[in-house]
Every structure is written in C-alpha cells, then in structure tokens.
Amino acid sequence: GAVVSQHPSRVICKSGTSVKIECRSLDFQATTMFWYRQFPKQSLMLMATSNEGSKATYEQGVEKDKFLINHASLTLSTLTVTSAHPEDSSFYICSASGGGDYGYTFGSGTRLTVV
C-alpha cells in the first residue's frame, strides 16, 4: 500500500533556529502534498497545499515566509519552520496523494518543541 515517511518524528530546537521536516512518498508519486498542524484539543488544520514543481498555496493566516514549503520532486516535500518560537511548538503532519481515487496517505507526524 501507499506509504508516506515523515522525519523527524520528534525535534527540540532553540528559539530563533530553523527546523526542516521531510515528507516522502515511498512507493508512489505524490502529485499533491498537504501540510497540517494540530493545535491542542482541535482538529488538524490545513496549513498549505503543494503541487510538485510549483509554489505552495497557503491557507489564510499561515505565514508563508515562516513556514517554507518545497515540493521539488514527486516523492519529497519539505516544511521548514524558520526562526522558530515557542508558539510554533505543535504536531505537524503531512499527507500525500497520487491523484484520482488513490486516497490520501498520512505521514506519522512530527512533534516540534521550541525551547
């Protein structure tokens, strides 16, 4: 079945530094990747949608200069949290789709803690 690998699973960084999270589709070509963030006691909130080879589309309220998304190949998308602050601490999850009725496959998530 379709597998999406997300790394790292946990990361702790100092305030002001940048963190990169990778999302890889292992056995299919992901034409579209989605990045979500889970706030405490709330559902997953869509941050941005990226299509391979084009700029990501960000949801309202999401700072594109702070959350850099790169979808340079059909199997890899990265989310970079730049100049991280404690309020960026959260659970980030990617999902990927090969299009059509393939369905969506989620990564295992990354718990980011900014200290």
Partner 1 sequence: DQQVKQNSPSLSVQEGRISILNCDYTNSMFDYFLWYKKYPAEGPTFLISISSIKDKNEDGRFTVFLNKSAKHLSLHIVPSQPGDSAVYFCAASASFNKFYFGSGTKLNVKP
CB of 13 to partner 1, least distance (A): 18
- Classify strands 10-13 and 110-114 as parallel, antiparallel or unpaired: parallel
CB of 32 to partner 1, least distance (A): 8
Nearest to 35 by CA among 81, 79, 85, 97: 79
Q: Which spans of this chain sit near partner 1 (rule: CB under 8 A)?
A: 6, 34, 41-44, 46, 49, 93, 95, 97, 99-101, 103-109, 111
Contact predicate 108/8, CB 8 Å: no
CB of 73 to partner 1, least distance (A): 21
